[in-house]
Amino acid sequence: MKAYFSELENKTVIVTGGSKGIGKDIALTFAKLNANVVISGRNKDILQEALEELQSFNERCMAVSGDLSNIQEVKRLIDTAAEEFGTIDVLVNNAGVNIAKPAMEVTEEDWDTVLDLNLKSAFFASQAAAKYMLEQNSGRIINIASQMAFVGFVKRAAYCSSKGGLVQMTKALAVEWAKNGIRVNAVAPTFIETELTAKMFEDEEFKNEVHSRILLEGLSQPKDISGAVLYLASNLANFVTGETIKVDGGWTAI
């Protein structure tokens, strides 16, 4: 009997926004299984640091810098990975942004910034990856959504809209591509304890509000999200598509 997840060895896995936070943890999870991981990010220095860490597990990992709000950069990322490895097996649409403002203060530029990266780029990355997946009649697309796709929250009008759209997009693509062997799913985390959220939780009132909505003790860790992504990318999830797994500590159960 083969070890769990051994089928991911030598698979080509793209993780957008994979240079830090949960994206980096997801990328490392696959690299440790000897998958050929391709990460993207805007900051070349941070991206290079993350790549070196990935290559300590699999030297075939690579990084492609770029702003995925630009659809041409999205396509370049996907095509570069396909040219290097000959196939694309898993796409993790993780890149995202939030601009926390009261709804009455959100500008058109704010709205476009959030929706362009969180939703538009994920669609066109999926479309570009599917071009290769359709040819091989197989593939996994995993979108990183949020519990805020299912509930509202203050100062998150654009963010909630983008993540709600991502969950619906997941279903639509799953329905359209199921006959081609492509499974499309999503993971919906709650707030995660990373270096990126540390400053946010310096606000004690905000911190207490978040903790009051999570039934399990503490905040989720990056590995909690990586575990759900790994499951969806593996043969354990062969009969799962169009689904969103909530990793929210019970936030949406109330």
Active site residues: 159
Q: In b/e form, how buried is each residue of 183-206, taking b as 16+ CB within 10 angstroms? A: bbbbbbbbbbebeeeeeeeeeeee
Q: How far apart are CA 64 and CA 149, in angstroms?
A: 29
Q: How far apart are CA 243 and CA 150, in angstroms?
A: 13
Question: Which amino acid makes up residue 239?
Answer: F
